[in-house]
Structure 1
Amino acid sequence: MTGYGRAERKEEDVSFAVEMRSVNHRFSEVAVRMPREFSAFEDAVRKKVLSYIRRGRVDVFLTVETEAPPSSLKINWELARQYKEAAEKMAELLGVPPQMPVYELLSMPDVARAGEDRPDLESYRAPLLAVVEEAISMLVAMRKKEGQALREDVLGRIEEMKRLVEELALFAPKVAESYRERIFARIQEYIQDRCDIDESRLLHEVAVFTERADISEEITRLRSHFAQFGQIVDEPEAIGRKLDFLVQECHREINTIGAKANHLEISQKVVILKAELEKVKEQVQNIE
């Protein structure tokens, strides 16, 4: 299902903004885009999203704005002492007065270094995941709204298919009887000038062909599948895979009815059933 969520959060020295978009997908997939210095949190963000989303593709965009950390001067006191002692030793050996002002010591390599006091990244974990959860809540709310619309659409189509199946059930006995009559008519035409036909064998063959044309079992199974649809859509956990399976089973039964029943009106209703089932299949692909 599709959805969108956005949330922002500001701490003392950092601001987080999270934007999420979800689209239909057969499986669960989360793509996270965030600044490289925060990539250590990517797995935690992905797990947080997957704890709410079980089906679909979710794109997560995280932007971070940090205030410039305070600068500080780092002095290598040991190295400065060694420079001073080396200068004094050199002055003593060369017989010259030692002249090395402090500012010259500061300019010596590696004595002084300007740096930034960066906070521990781990301190950002809690606020970052909190803002991710806020965005997820908005996205999930939108997905639930769409899910309710999908539920009503799917159940409406199932009701239409139920009506068509009940009409098929009325035609089922007529199909067997019509098939039996056509077989007997052809046999009578064939044996009218012959007397060496085993009538009991013919009756047996007619019964076999009539049984093959019977669609009552398929109708019973379709009724069962439709009832399960109504039960599954109200289950609290993920139901998309279960509905996928039921759609496949319904498709198999409808195809069997079409292959068995050599009857114009039943064939027409089978075409309509297939069209409705295809629409249900498309919607089920969007259900978590």
Structure 2
Amino acid sequence: MIYSMTGYGKSVLQLPTKKISIEIKSLNSKNLDLNTRMPSFYREKELELRKIIADRLERGKIDFSLFVEVTGEETSTQINKPVVKQYLKQLQDIVDGDATELLKMAVRFPDALTTDREEIDENEWNAVLKEVQDALNAISQYRLDEGKVLEQDFKNRITNIEALLESVIAIDPERVEAVRDRLRKGVEDLKEKVDENRFEQELVYYIEKYDITEEKVRLKNHLEYFISALNSADSNGKKLGFITQEMGREINTIGSKSNYAPMQQLVVQMKDELEKIKEQLLNVL
């Protein structure tokens, strides 16, 4: 089971005097890159929120937003009446204007409005935390659904590489015979008489040098290990990435040793499938 790092979750809490909206977005990243946006009223709870989000989402570029919309009559901002009256008196001493216009000017001056700093209500905060968990559940489900799509794509491409490897195994005897014929023809073109026993010894050495038996076995094991890791309970994109590196190493070695055009064509197709796997692995948690 794998999870994508791409996801989106949202939850809305309706209170008697306000509506709180929570949104979480995530994209792929090598590590955890968490950005939070919330009203200053909740800033004292930021560290608690960051820990909750980090524990659930683990990795990715994550944007967390908490929006508050006041829907009732409750407000923490009050007019500082003594200060506004003093401003009005000073303005009236300077100009003889309409009282309403002077009032509009007065409330824009410093300290005309005061904001009472209230303690966060614990019941309200617990309700907010529940909505955060709901948003995290939503984004986790989104990541899981995306992961299932990626998982199927990986399995299809691994199947393609396995089929290409079987083709490599099938034409390997043909390749060995082609190498043998090419070497013998090269010697004949030199029009030199050679010791047949010595020639056979050199031929065996040359063919053994380009033998790909070990690479075929190791690549097959890596393909099986990749599927096994893909089906494991945890999602580990980094581990899958390490396995693909080993797969690439064996495919490259087969290509460099093949010395046979039909086999090299199969190797190119295997490399193409592997590169597509590597690209998609960047999105796996």
- Identify which of 21, 25, 35 aligns with 2:25: 21
Deviation of residue 183 (structure 1)?
A: 1.5
Deviation of residue 283 (structure 1)?
A: 1.3
Inter-CA distance 202–31: structure 2 relative to 1 (3 Å threshold): same
Q: In the alignment, what sits opposite 1:120? A: 119
Unaligned runs of 5+ in 2: 81-112
**Segment drifting more, 175-184 vs 116-125:** 116-125
Deviation of residue 270 (structure 1)?
A: 1.0
Helix, strand or coil for the counterpart of 1:29?
A: strand
* Separation of aligned partners in 2, 1:285 and 1:118: 45
TM-score, normalised by the number of residues in structure 2: 0.77
* Separation of aligned partners in 2, 1:135 and 1:16: 12
* Counterpart check, 1:234 vs 2:231: yes
Q: In the alignment, what sits opposite 1:184? A: 184
Q: How does 1:209-228 map to 2 (within 5 A)?
A: 209-228=206-225
* Counterpart check, 1:136 vs 2:143: no
* Separation of aligned partners in 1, 2:11 and 2:200: 76
Letter matched to residue 172 of structure 1: D
Q: In the alignment, what sits opposite 2:96? A: none
Q: In the alignment, what sits opposite 1:269? A: 266
CA offsets 1:226-258 (integer angstroms, 9 cap, x no match): 111211112121220111011111111111111
* Counterpart check, 1:68 vs 2:67: no
Deviation of residue 181 (structure 1)?
A: 2.2
Letter matched to residue 207 of structure 1: V
Q: In the alignment, what sits opposite 1:44? A: 48
Q: How does 1:74-223 map to 2 (within 5 A)?
A: 118-121=117-120, 123=122, 125-190=125-190, 192=192, 194=193, 199-223=196-220
Q: In the alignment, what sits opposite 2:107? A: none
Deviation of residue 276 (structure 1)?
A: 0.8
**Segment drifting more, 223-232 vs 115-124:** 115-124
Structure number with the bigger relative contact order (C-alpha 8 A, sep ≥ 6) is: 2
Deviation of residue 118 (structure 1)?
A: 4.5
Inter-CA distance 219–158: structure 2 relative to 1 (3 Å threshold): same
CA offsets 1:85-109 (integer angstroms, 9 cap, x no match): xxxxxxxxxxxxxxxxxxxxxxxxx
Deviation of residue 126 (structure 1)?
A: 2.7
Helix, strand or coil for the counterpart of 1:176?
A: helix
TM-score, normalised by the number of residues in structure 1: 0.76
Deviation of residue 11 (structure 1)?
A: 4.2
Deviation of residue 26 (structure 1)?
A: 2.7
Q: Matched residue pairs, number?
A: 245
Letter matched to residue 210 of structure 1: I
Letter matched to residue 19 of structure 1: E
**Segment drifting more, 5-14 vs 223-232:** 5-14
* Separation of aligned partners in 1, 2:121 and 2:210: 71
CA offsets 1:189-225 (integer angstroms, 9 cap, x no match): 4363x5xx55544333222210122112111111111
Inter-CA distance 178–116: structure 2 relative to 1 (3 Å threshold): closer
Deviation of residue 15 (structure 1)?
A: 3.8
Q: Kindly, what percent of the aligned residue pairs are identical?
A: 32
Helix, strand or coil for the counterpart of 1:214?
A: coil
**Segment drifting more, 24-33 vs 198-207:** 198-207
* Separation of aligned partners in 2, 1:12 and 1:70: 18
Inter-CA distance 57–115: structure 2 relative to 1 (3 Å threshold): closer
When Rg is computed on C-alpha atoms for both structures, the one with the higher figure is 1
